[in-house]
Amino acid sequence: MNLHAIRAIYLFEMGRTLRTLLQSIVSPVVSTALYFVVFGSAIGSRIPEVGGVSYGAFIVPGLVMLSLLTQSVSNASFGIYFPKFTGTIYELLSAPVSPLEVVISYVGAAATKSIFLGIVIMLTAALFVPMKILHPGWMLVFLVLTAVTFSLLGFIIGIWADGFEKLQFIPTLIITPLTFLGGSFYSIDMLPPIWQKISLFNPVVYLVSGFRWSFYGISDVGVGTSLVMTLVFMAACLAAITWIFRTGYRLKS
């Protein structure tokens, strides 16, 4: 294991966050504060409680997941796409760095930034609503697993994309809608029975549900199911990345 290479790439990616602090940290936090103003105040006044939890507090896990998913994908996809765009990816591929070390460094940096942002958003949320975390250990497990899993997905998107338009296609038109429809701002128990069944095909439902359970002990699906689905999605991403490096898909041509 080339720890020096991992450290070098990791620190370079983390340094990029400091150079774009306004976009990487400040912008998502401001957006989250606006969500609290709109959903927590305007809509929350009409929905006093959901599952025995005030609506403002209920949406906190969903807002954290919304930012975590989008930022994980964005950070990881841009991190690996930029070397492709500039042509420096060939120097990386020819260097004495294994595919595993490349994935660990890029995905690790993207996940670290997303986890830090998630914690900042939770601290911001505590300024607006009374928040409690019943299972802090499980909260960290879901936070880390989700950040790593969607950073892996972002890594795949960054390799697949051959232009900045494609780089934004999946996050904007697929991931963000799935997050909004995944119970971030409501419980799927509030939906008609047929839509409850359809919602179970949305993988984000399991992420939000498990994360919300770690806060308040309430969930739309079993916490065990949420954990298993998260691990299955992670395994699928790892399998896809393994295939990409074995075949050289969008890397060597």
Pairwise CA distance, residues 67 & 115, whole Å? 10
Most confident of 13-17, 25-29, 128-132, 146-150: 146-150
Task: Judge residue 65's burial from the number of C-beta atoms within 10 Å of its C-beta, 0-12 exposed, 13-18 middle, 19 or more buried.
Answer: buried
Question: For 52-105, how does the pLDDT look when each residue is reduced to its tens digit (9 = 90+)?
Answer: 888 888 888 988 998 899 889 988 998 898 888 887 888 887 888 888 999 999
Model confidence, pTM? 0.90
Q: What is the pLDDT of residue 135?
A: 94
Average pLDDT, the chain: 86
CB atoms within 10 A of CB 24: 18
Give 53's strand partners.
Answer: 50
Residue 24 has pLDDT above 70, yes or no: no
Question: For 155-166, how does the pLDDT look when each residue is reduced to its tens digit (9 = 90+)?
Answer: 999 999 888 888
Residue 115 has pLDDT above 90, yes or no: yes
Q: What is the pLDDT of residue 110?
A: 92
Question: Six-digit token pair at 226?
Answer: 């949420």
Residue 252 backbone phi and psi in degrees, to 5: -105, 10
Q: What is the pLDDT of residue 164?
A: 82
Q: What is the pLDDT of residue 217?
A: 92
Q: What is the pLDDT of residue 22?
A: 65
Question: Six-digit token pair at 86?
Answer: 């500039």
DSSP code, position 170: H
Give 171's strand partners.
Answer: none
